[in-house]
Amino acid sequence: MHVAVCVKQIPDPSVAPRLDASFHLERTAKILLDEADAYGVELALQLVESAGQGQVTLVSMGRDSDVTGIRGALAMGATSAIVVSDEGLRGADALTTAKVLASVLAELNADLVLAATESSDGYTGTVPAQIAELLGLPALTFATTVQVADSTVTVHRQTEDGFDEVRAPLPAVVTVTAGAVEPRYANFKGIMAAKSKTIEVRSLNDLGLSALAQAWGEEVVGVTPSPSRQAGTTIVDDGQAVSALVDYLDSIKVL
């Protein structure tokens, strides 16, 4: 069984995000694998392990100057990685990202494509559905459990009121919520093995997609502070905080 997992390296989420002059998210913070992606990697490893054989290929788009996060996923046990890195993709929109990832995925022809429901930095949440449409595949999204048997994938899909059990034939795209599985920690053996695993870097030109460079049809026209939502009073609990809180609740007339 061949499982492809879409992963993304993002700036350390514990560092307050900032925008640069052209409204791009600053990527000066340490670059990490999006925590949301660890679940897809873990699930892929489990599916291949229970199938008895196969491989897990990581597919990513982003700068290749720091691949520590990708290396970490390889240390968990993924087989190899393909990273599309191109200056022409800086600030790319969701559809361009999907076209790039779909181009790599089409070539891999995996049985199953996994992704997180959304990235923790851009969180548009549309890339997996765009990939599925570009590849002509069904997509089972927001999965909280995933089972594969007899070339069919069955998931519990989160809904507004509970969950739906949803089924589709393979190949398919599945997006997993955090908590679908418990990601393993890379052990020493995995970390050592990851050092010699292949991370293949491709450019837009390599993929025959040069026309996509800086060619998306949307732009940010401005960013301004929101007047309606700024910080109010914050106090440190010294044992008296509750009475101050009760006073506050009184002042807004909710008691």
Partner 1 sequence: MTTLWVLCEPKGSGVSTTSLELVSEARRLDGDVTAVTWGDHDVATELGRHGVSTLWHLGSFADQLPAAPVAAALAALLADQDIDGIVIPASYDGRDIAGRLSARMDRPVLTNVTGLLVDGGLVTEHPLFGGTMNARARVTSPGVAIIVVRPKSFAIEDRGAGAATVIPAPTVSSTVAVASIVHSSITERSGPALEDASIVVSGGRGLGEASAYALVEELAQLLGAAPGASRAIVDAGWVPYAYQVGQTGKTVKPTLYIACGISGATQHLVGMKGAQHIVAINTDKDAPIFAIADFGIVGDAKAILPQLIAALRARV
Instruction: Report the nearest approach of partner 1 to the CB of residue 56 (Å).
Output: 22
| 220 lines the binding site for partner 1 (CB under 8 A) | yes
Q: Which residues of 65-95 are buried (b: 16+ CB within 10 A; e: fewer)?
A: eebebbbbbbbbbbbebbbbbbebbeebbbb
Residue ranges in 12-41 that form contacts with partner 1 under rule CB under 8 A: 13, 16-17, 19, 23
Report yes or no: 97 and 61 within 8 Å, Cβ to Cβ: yes
Taking CB under 8 A as the criterion, the residue among 10, 67, 74, 94 binding partner 1 is: 94
**Contact track, partner 1, 163-202, x by CB under 8 A:** xxxxxxx--x----xxx-----------------------
Angle between helix axes 127-135 and 94-108 (nearest 10 degrees) is: 50
Residues 128-157 touching partner 1, rule: CB under 8 A, are 128-134, 136-142, 144, 154, 157
Residue 171: CB minimum distance to partner 1, A: 9
Determine the Cα–Cα distance for residues 158 and 242; give it in Å rounded to an integer: 37
64 binds partner 1 (CB under 8 A): no
126 binds partner 1 (CB under 8 A): yes
Q: Are 35 and 11 in contact (CB under 8 A)?
A: no
**Do 255 and 246 touch, CB atoms closer than 8 A?**
yes
Q: Which residues pair with 157 in a beta bridge?
A: 143, 164
Q: Tell whether residue 125 is a contact of partner 1 (CB under 8 A).
A: yes
Q: Tell whether residue 235 is a contact of partner 1 (CB under 8 A).
A: yes
Instruction: Kindly state whether residue 90 participates in binding partner 1, applying the rule CB under 8 A.
Output: no
Smaller CB distance to partner 1: residue 131 or 194? Answer: 131
